[in-house]
Structure 1
Amino acid sequence: MSDLSIWVIIIVVGAGTYFMRYSFLGVLGRRQMPAWALRMLRYTAVAVLPALVAPAVLWPPATGGQTDPARLLAGGATLLAGLLTRNTLAAIVAGGVTLYAMLYVLG
């Protein structure tokens, strides 16, 4: 592919993404949303984040998709720390420390 083709693709995809997002946010951004919709939107991050993280814990690319005890223990430590402390940073630190400790211990 030529440089011009690549830049045209980047610009077209960027513009398409912008207008798709604006079509939703620009139209609804100025209106008051119903209380039930706002209540449900509060749980968006809680629903999306585990969906993004779970495949990396259960089928990590670093091990060729094979389940790894170190990553399972780190995921469990993250979940436990998050439930006990209700602090996102504490959960991340607990998971990271557990992951590196288990990779060191288990090899």
Structure 2
Amino acid sequence: MSTAPDGTWIVILGLALGSFALRFSFIGLVGDRRMPAWVLRHLRYTAVAILPALVAPAAVWPTATGGALDPPRLAASAVTLAVGLTTRNVIFAMLSGAATLYGLIWLLG
């Protein structure tokens, strides 16, 4: 199914304007104002919420296995979570999860 070139450009321009409007609303309109404490408190958790949201689908429905559950990926996720909670070190948690994943893939074939 093909679309008309004019329709494609309209969609691209609409997405560009929407993206600009979203960014400008935070940077241009609110960028030089002091935010309330409750907003800053909630924004502190944004980065913490993004990484699990990006990784969870790859751990639960990995494309490498056709969407089937995979013991090495589940174990690596559990190790990453456990190390992150106990050490509070993001880099060490990610490295230990990666080592677990590749170690189990190597061991289990």
Query: What is residue 69 of structure 1 aligned with on the other side?
Result: 71
For 1:102, give the aligned amino acid.
Answer: L
The residue matched to 1:28 in structure 2 has which SS?
A: coil
1:22 aligned onto 2:24: yes
Query: What is residue 88 of structure 1 aligned with on the other side?
Result: 90
Identity value in percent: 53
How high is the TM-score relative to the length of structure 2?
0.82
Q: Which runs of 5+ in 1 are unaligned?
A: none
Query: What is residue 100 of structure 1 aligned with on the other side?
Result: 102
Q: In the comparison of the two structures, how many residue pairs are matched?
A: 107
Comparing both structures, which one devotes a greater share of its residues to helix?
Answer: 1
For 2:78, give the aligned amino acid.
Answer: G
**In structure 2, distance between residues paired with 1:101 and 1:52:** 22
**In structure 2, distance between residues paired with 1:39 and 1:16:** 27
For 1:66, give the aligned amino acid.
Answer: A
> Offset at 1:50?
1.2
